[in-house]
């Protein structure tokens, strides 16, 4: 009887046994064999979840090689205060702000830079910039200094005759003026307090509902003029950074112009974007309703294009550009004015004793010639044995140094460097590397590499890790060797990054930030089907089919 039952079961299962080779072939075909994750449905996280014994198991990985031996990486996207560690194994590597560094656009984006004495942008008067009804102007601005008098931001105003409109700095306040275009008394109103070397979002507009002028700073409550006026047109040129008499120094851009309706509170809030701002290219359809011009102002030189309209601005006396004022694909960066920094105290995770290493950061220097040195990132307090390593710029001679302390290296004169003019203006990706055979390399923009002589390995010290300044133990910045620059996407690895990894991070100058999932070339290779343990292959088949397959049915390695 037992034999009859057994034979009946085996006979009933015969179709299944006949089907198993085909089933296994389908499962194997659906496994990754060197192709990138995401191509196969079962490579996606959670795709096999919910099956017995599977949980959230996913059979292949999307981990970037850039995570290997990454100690700390900082996106530096915060608007102020502490900059948190974004990734890496360091257990305590959040950066404390010293003297409140500001923020700037992420690497690769720029804003107009004006000297405050002779430089400006302009276009002759035309009907698209003349107003007779509702309109508004908003702009991001970082004034170099705050002084008495007027600092014009964007206007059609001659400061005396047939005045039209002007968004301007009035000492530390932001103001907006509207004239009738025929020489009558204008109406104006000011509000708020701007701080030198700090980003500000200024908006001014005129509403027909009460014929009054309004102005706001950083999306705050609008101030309203006491008197009324009806805007009118004249033949004044449209200016940025000048009004025919006064100049504004610092950085401006983008500038947004609405006509036919004033910018609504929801539009202003959206363009302000919680303080991160928006590039012209990132504006939504709702943002651009009644917007007739938007100037990014990120060009390196020459005329500045209108992203929406046709009001291209001519440049006078060669204004430049610096790190932008609104976020981009690289998010935001930290902005240092020469007396600020970010710091974390020395700890075991940051020890560099006897290890290969790489330090990487994007930087856009705001000045050149003084101070003598500007520190980018490092563990260096200029105190002999406490010094470990440092990426810095010697801006007086336009050099960038990668230096470290080891048995065969001087902290003063034997660092590696690459000469060239690196500021002010262009974003550059700076990478200092030390190989496992103690050969130092400095790479700029993934293309130019200077290689030094081999030493005997780095020594450990007690200096804090700093960005934008020279360290001072236990965890602060020294009053000198501070940086005037924007710094973005800084990282520290305890291994030498490869040339291909630096090329991928550079991304032809546009940069790529963590989690680096878009850099397919740096994905860790998926595990081949034949290299998986038998138990794992059994679980995958069960998850996909609900059929238990004995171990002997699987070809390949058995572990």
What string of DSSP letters covers 244-298? SS-B-EEEEEEEEEEESSPPPHHHHHHHHGGGT---GGG--TTTTTTEEEEE---
Specify the 3-state DSSP secondary structure of 476: strand
Give the pTM. Answer: 0.81
Stretch 186-215: mean pLDDT: 96
Place of tokens 């291994």: 495
Reference 212, options 236, 184, 182, 178; nearest CA is 178
Helical packing angle, 534-545 and 2-29, nearest 10°: 90
Fold of the domain built from segment(s) 110-323: Jelly Rolls (2.60.120)
Distance between CA 220 and CA 229 in Å, rounded?
Answer: 23
Tell me the HSE value of 132 on the side-chain side, using a 13 A CA sphere.
Answer: 6
The answer to whether the 69-103+331-518 and 110-323 domains have the same CATH topology is yes
**What integer pLDDT is reported at residue 454 of this predicted model?**
77
Reported as a pLDDT band with limits 50, 70 and 90, residue 539 is confident
Q: Parse the chain into domains and list their residue ranges.
A: 2-62+524-553, 69-103+331-518, 110-323
Reference 303, options 529, 94, 121, 133; nearest CA is 121
Lowest mean pLDDT, pick from 20-29, 150-159, 180-189, 219-228: 20-29
Reported as a pLDDT band with limits 50, 70 and 90, residue 54 is very low
**pLDDT tens per residue across span 492-502:** 999 999 999 99
**Burial, 209: exposed, middle or buried (Cβ in 10 Å; 0-12, 13-18, 19+)?**
exposed
CATH class of the domain comprising 69-103+331-518 = mainly beta
**pLDDT tens per residue across span 265-295:** 999 999 999 999 999 999 999 999 999 999 9
Beta bridge partner(s), residue 213: 206
**pLDDT tens per residue across span 291-328:** 999 999 999 999 999 999 999 999 999 999 999 999 99
The answer to whether residue 3 scores a pLDDT higher than 60 is: no
**What integer pLDDT is reported at residue 414 of this predicted model?**
35
Reference 155, options 106, 119, 122; nearest CA is 122
H-helix segments, 273-383: none
């Amino acid at each position: 009887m037992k034999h009859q039952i057994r034979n009946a079961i085996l006979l009933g299962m015969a179709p299944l046994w006949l089907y198993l080779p085909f089933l296994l072939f389908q499962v194997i075909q659906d496994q990754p064999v060197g192709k990138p994750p995401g191509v196969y449905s079962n490579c996606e996280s959670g795709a096999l979840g919910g099956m017995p014994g599977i949980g959230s198991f996913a059979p292949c990985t999307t981990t970037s090689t850039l995570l290997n031996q990454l100690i700390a990486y900082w996106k530096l996207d915060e608007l102020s205060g502490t900059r948190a560690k974004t990734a890496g194994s360091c257990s305590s590597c959040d950066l404390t702000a010293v003297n409140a560094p500001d923020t700037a656009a992420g690497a690769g984006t720029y804003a107009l830079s004006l000297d405050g004495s002779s430089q400006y942008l302009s276009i002759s008067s035309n009907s698209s910039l003349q107003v007779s009804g509702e309109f508004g102007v908003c702009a991001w601005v970082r004034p170099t200094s705050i002084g008495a008098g007027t600092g014009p931001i964007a206007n059609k105003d001659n400061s005396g005759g047939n005045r039209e409109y002007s968004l301007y700095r009035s000492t530390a306040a932001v103001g907006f003026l509207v004239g009738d275009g025929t020489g009558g008394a204008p109406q104006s109103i000011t509000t708020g307090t701007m701080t030198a070397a700090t980003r500000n979002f200024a908006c001014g507009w005129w509403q027909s509902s009460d014929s009054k002028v309004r102005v706001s700073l950083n999306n705050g409550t609008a101030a309203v003029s006491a008197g009324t006026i009806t805007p009118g047109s004249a033949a004044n040129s449209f200016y940025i950074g000048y009004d025919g008499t006064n100049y504004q120094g610092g950085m401006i851009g983008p500038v947004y112009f609405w006509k036919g309706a004033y910018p609504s509170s929801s539009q202003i809030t959206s363009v302000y974007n919680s303080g991160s701002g928006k590039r012209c290219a990132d504006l939504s359809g709702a943002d651009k309703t009644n917007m007739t011009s938007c100037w990014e102002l990120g060009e390196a030189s020459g005329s500045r294009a209108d992203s929406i309209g046709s009001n291209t601005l001519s440049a006078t006396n060669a204004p430049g550009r610096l790190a932008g004022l609104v976020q981009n694909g690289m998010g935001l960066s930290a902005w240092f004015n020469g007396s600020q920094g970010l710091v974390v105290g020395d700890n075991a995770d940051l020890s560099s004793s006897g290890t290969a290493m790489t330090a990487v950061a994007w930087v856009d220097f705001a000045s050149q010639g003084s101070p003598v040195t500007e520190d980018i990132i490092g563990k260096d307090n200029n105190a002999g044995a406490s010094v470990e390593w440092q990426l810095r710029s010697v801006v007086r001679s336009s050099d960038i140094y990668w230096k470290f302390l080891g048995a065969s290296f001087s902290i003063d004169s034997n660092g590696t460097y690459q000469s060239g003019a690196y500021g002010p203006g262009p974003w550059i990706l700076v990478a200092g590397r030390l190989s496992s055979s103690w050969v130092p390399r400095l790479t700029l923009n993934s293309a130019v590499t200077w290689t030094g002589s081999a030493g005997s390995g780095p020594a450990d010290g007690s200096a804090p890790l700093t960005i934008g300044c020279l360290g001072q133990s236990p965890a602060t910045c020294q009053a000198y060797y501070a940086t005037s620059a924007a710094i973005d996407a800084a990282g520290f690895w305890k291994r030498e990054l490869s040339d291909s990894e630096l090329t991928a991070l550079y991304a032809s100058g546009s940069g790529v930030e963590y989690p680096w999932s878009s850099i397919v070339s740096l994905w860790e290779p998926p595990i081949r089907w034949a290299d998986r343990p038998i138990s794992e292959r059994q679980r995958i088949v069960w998850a996909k089919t609900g059929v238990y397959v004995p171990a002997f049915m699987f070809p390949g390695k058995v572990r």
